[in-house]
Chain A
Amino acid sequence: MANMREIRERIDSIKQILKITNAMYLISSSKLKKARKALDSTEPYYYKLQETISSVLEHTPHTRQMYFDRRTDIPPEKRKKGYIVITADKGLCGSYNHNILKFTEQELAKSPDINNCYLFVLGHVGRMYFTSRLKNSSKPFVDGEFLYTTQNPTLYRAMEIARLVLEKFENRELDEVYVIYTDMINSSVQEERMIQLLPFSRKHFGKAPDGTMKKLPKASFLPSPEEVMAHLIPNYTKGIIYGAMVEAFCCEQQSRMTAMDAATTSAKDMIKELSLLYNRARQGAITQEITEVVSGSGALSANV
């Protein structure tokens, strides 16, 4: 009998959780719709920005602009590297957080001195992870005042972040700046990606821009290449950060939706299995009772 009660309690608790996961599924799917819309409307800008900048750079004469300064005088182990890592604010989104954190760890492991790594983490999960990680051993420096949410990315937030890293770069508090985020390839495939923001190098625009613009002579810059670059690069940085935020947010919602969908399905499966067990136990109990009654009455009639 205890068995039956146990099973029933189990089924009840699963039903409760099912309600939660199902609600979360619905919420994330509506959020995903919004995020997708934002992504679709931002993507042309994001790609065009990369494409245009790369073609602009092809026409740019060599400049001594400070954002291009690779600071080769600083040896690799002394270089201060900044990483902007975009994670989620909440858990329960499958392996989304895990993947991006692991990817970041791998990138951090590559750098010669982890004490020279500075992390700017967007999203609560990542921030908690990196602040509490490996207390005893050396760890990267996590900027505690860098408190930005990843929900509903705005251009304004991207601008603030861009301003912050550019300022640190200018003051030589950082020598290299990267963005780590999750890129949405299609609705089922996501990929962690790292982009180098600063120093600005022509090399990382490896993608071939469409051939039409290739054969053109050097473009003129108004008022001067340095002046244009001084405006263009902060703008580009902002655009890239914004694009990465939008992509990452969309990925987060996508993975949460998938995870919650999977949780709901497996909860349903569990309920199905448990109700079978429950029915079997109930049937067993009834059979046992009948046997008892029958044998009891049999014993009585035998006595008479």
Chain B
Amino acid sequence: MAKTFHLEIIAANRIFYQGECEHLVITAIDGLLGIMAGHEPLVTVLPTGELKYMVNGQWQYAAISEGFIQVMPESSVILADTCELPEEIDIKRAEEARERAQEQLRQKQSIHEYYQTQAALNRAMNRLKISQKHFK
């Protein structure tokens, strides 16, 4: 078995994962980032995206929305607004959210609202993508 490091994924409403992990792949602000045990100390920001981590040789997938990660050689902490497994995603709700966001984007609005709606749309699309990819 590969060398492991301690991984904590904490969402605003729950502790998503806490335990050993062999390999972690995150979508950082400027691209994919793979982390294994003994990684150099690192801090980066995570946009809404996909996350996967390997436990006992099995890849686990999750949809994550905005947060950040702190990497230490022996441990990593991810703090995010929300984090969900593909099977937990409410597809109907995400689809509705996407519709809503797209509708709002079509209408004229202030820059702020535009960014907010775009973020909402990103979240919804990400959820849909991940649930379709890993949970059929």
- Taking beta carbons and an 8 Å cutoff, which residues of A are in contact with B? 38, 41-42, 44-45, 48-49, 52, 55-56, 59-60, 155, 163, 212-213, 216-223, 227-228, 231-232, 235, 238-239, 242
**CB proximity of B122 to chain A, nearest CB, Å:** 14
Across-interface contacts of A239 in B (CB, < 8 A): 12, 79
Query: Is B38 an interface residue, CB under 8 A from the partner?
Result: no
- Which of B41-49, B50-58, B99-107 participates in binding chain A? B41-49
How far is B71's CA from A38's CA once the two chains are assembled, in angstroms?
28
- The answer, among B10, B14, B68, B72, for a CB contact under 8 Å with A228, is B68
Most buried by B among A42, A55, A231: A231
Query: Is B81 an interface residue, CB under 8 A from the partner?
Result: yes
How far is B70's CA from A98's CA once the two chains are assembled, in angstroms?
40
Across-interface contacts of B79 in A (CB, < 8 A): 45, 48-49, 52, 235, 239
1/0 contact trace for B73-116 toward A, CB 8 Å? 11001010110000000000000000000000000000010000
How far is B79's CA from A148's CA once the two chains are assembled, in angstroms?
26
16 residue pairs of the A-B complex, CB under 8 angstroms, read A38-B13, A41-B14, A45-B11, A55-B70, A59-B43, A155-B81, A219-B42, A220-B43, A221-B44, A223-B44, A227-B29, A227-B45, A228-B68, A232-B68, A235-B66, A239-B12
B10 and A232: CB pair below 8 A? no
**CB proximity of B54 to chain A, nearest CB, Å:** 21
Most buried by A among B11, B40, B45, B71: B45
A221 and B42: CB pair below 8 A? yes
A231 and B42: CB pair below 8 A? no
Across-interface contacts of B81 in A (CB, < 8 A): 155, 238
Most buried by B among A42, A227, A232: A232
- The answer, among A219, A231, A238, for a CB contact under 8 Å with B45, is A231
Across-interface contacts of B15 in A (CB, < 8 A): 44
- Ordered nearest first, which 4 A-B pairs have the shortest CB separation? A219-B41, A231-B45, A222-B44, A41-B14
A222 and B70: CB pair below 8 A? no
B8 and A223: CB pair below 8 A? no
Most buried by A among B43, B74, B82: B43
**CB proximity of A57 to chain B, nearest CB, Å:** 10
How far is B78's CA from A44's CA once the two chains are assembled, in angstroms?
12
B41 and A44: CB pair below 8 A? no
**CB proximity of B52 to chain A, nearest CB, Å:** 19
For residue A51, which residue of chain B has the nearest CB?
B77
- The answer, among A38, A42, A163, A220, for a CB contact under 8 Å with B42, is A220
* Apart from A45-B79, A52-B70: 5 A-B pairs, beta carbons within 8 A: A38-B13, A44-B10, A60-B43, A222-B44, A232-B43
Across-interface contacts of B112 in A (CB, < 8 A): 163
A42 and B12: CB pair below 8 A? yes
Across-interface contacts of B41 in A (CB, < 8 A): 59, 216-220
B12 and A242: CB pair below 8 A? yes
Query: Is B21 an interface residue, CB under 8 A from the partner?
Result: no
Across-interface contacts of B29 in A (CB, < 8 A): 222-223, 227, 231
Query: Is B28 an interface residue, CB under 8 A from the partner?
Result: yes
A48 and B14: CB pair below 8 A? no
Across-interface contacts of A222 in B (CB, < 8 A): 28-30, 33, 42-44
A232 and B11: CB pair below 8 A? no
**CB proximity of B16 to chain A, nearest CB, Å:** 10
How far is B82's CA from A231's CA once the two chains are assembled, in angstroms?
16
For residue A231, which residue of chain B has the nearest CB?
B45
- The answer, among A42, A48, A59, A235, for a CB contact under 8 Å with B77, is A48
**CB proximity of B28 to chain A, nearest CB, Å:** 6
How far is B12's CA from A18's CA once the two chains are assembled, in angstroms?
39
For residue A217, which residue of chain B has the nearest CB?
B41
